[in-house]
A = this chain, B = another copy of it.
Amino acid sequence: MRIALDAMGTDLAPDPEIQGALQALADFEGDIEIVLVGDEPALRAAVSRHGPIPERLTFKHASDRVTAEDSPASVIRKKPNSSIVVGLKLHQQGEADAFVSAGSTGAIMATSLFTLRPLPGVDRPAVGTLLPTLGSPCLLIDAGANVDCKPQHLVQFAHLGNVYVRDAIGTAEPRVALLNIGEEPGKGNEVVAETYELLSRERGIRFVGNVEGRDIIQDTCDVVVCDGFVGNVLLKFYESVAAVIVAMLRKQLDGRDVGSLFDEVFRVLDYSEYGGAPLLGVGGVSIICHGESSPKAIRNALGVAARAVRSDMVKHSAQDVTAAAR
């Protein structure tokens, strides 16, 4: 299996990508090959500084880089030699089985949609993000791709999230919940109330009903379905609450020694631990990482990508969504 890794994605690229790739090759099973996509001469030189270039690490030259100034939708046309477009085309043409990038979220999404195309039966591919909880992480889907959703879109998200958590994270029979403002059926706005009805009758997923905001990180479910507006607000809020609370505690502690206390808490709250956010519902494996990803986060994203490929996640997603649409 070969994974294309955008080597121009993180804020500190290509170092976190190179270190993450080397770590993944060292840690994971022997069938993984990684293709570093970027400025080949520079990448070769940078990798060489870590020792001889491993056999399972290859390069694909891409001379250009997507920046925050580029309009996401125009990247495929205006920057055909960018690492995002070159890497995704490798995947599209079957020369890679998955794509991982810490570059512009919008550009990765738009280019993935264009190259990998939505799966049959998927109206709206969606972004999933694993949130740390008191127990196993919970996949929030959609985390921001679709701001206006109809009930059938939310039902598709439920299937896509279910297959991802089962196949790529390895949770058997994920508990799938609908984000709402009350537990009883009939609660919520029109879209959510109708989605509840649909999910209650849906086969192939273990629907556990409505959950409220307070339940998400209490390990009550493995997948929580919402529209991309709510999901994105929640996700960004979560990051900031953690940071604010730790800042408050630091101030209170006022220099007292508590060892690695905060490092540990930040580690638990750091969702990059879980390997990036997949774009689900397209005909391939496309994983979006934070621009601030550490080598470890890149390594973990490569691990999740490998697991998604090995488990045939995309095939299962297509089967489940198609069966649901019948």
Which A residues lie at the B interface, using CB under 8 A?
133-134, 144, 147-148, 179, 181, 188-190, 192, 212-218, 226-230, 232-242, 244-249, 252-253, 256, 258, 261, 264-265, 268-269
Contact = CB atoms under 8 A, between A and B. Distances in A.
Q: Which applies to chain A's interface (DSSP): helix, strand, loop or mixed?
A: helix
A189 B234 contact: no
B238 A252 contact: no
A134 B229 contact: no
B265 A245 contact: yes
Given A144-B181, A245-B245, A258-B258, A217 B240 contact: yes
Nearest to A188: B147
Nearest to A144: B181
23 contacts: A134-B244, A134-B248, A144-B181, A147-B181, A147-B189, A181-B236, A189-B227, A192-B229, A213-B232, A213-B234, A213-B239, A216-B240, A217-B241, A218-B244, A226-B233, A229-B230, A241-B241, A241-B242, A245-B245, A252-B261, A252-B265, A253-B261, A256-B258
B181 A148 contact: no
A257 to B, nearest CB: 9
B233 A179 contact: yes
A245 B258 CA distance: 16
Contact of A244 (B217, B234, B252): B217
A234 to B, nearest CB: 6
Contacts of A230: 229-230, 233
Given A147-B188, A147-B189, A214 B236 contact: yes
A247 B245 CA distance: 12
Nearest to A240: B214
Nearest to A261: B252
Nearest to A218: B240
Given A181-B229, A229-B181, A249-B265, A212 B236 contact: yes
A225 to B, nearest CB: 12
B240 A242 contact: no
A236 B190 CA distance: 20
Contacts of A244: 133-134, 217-218
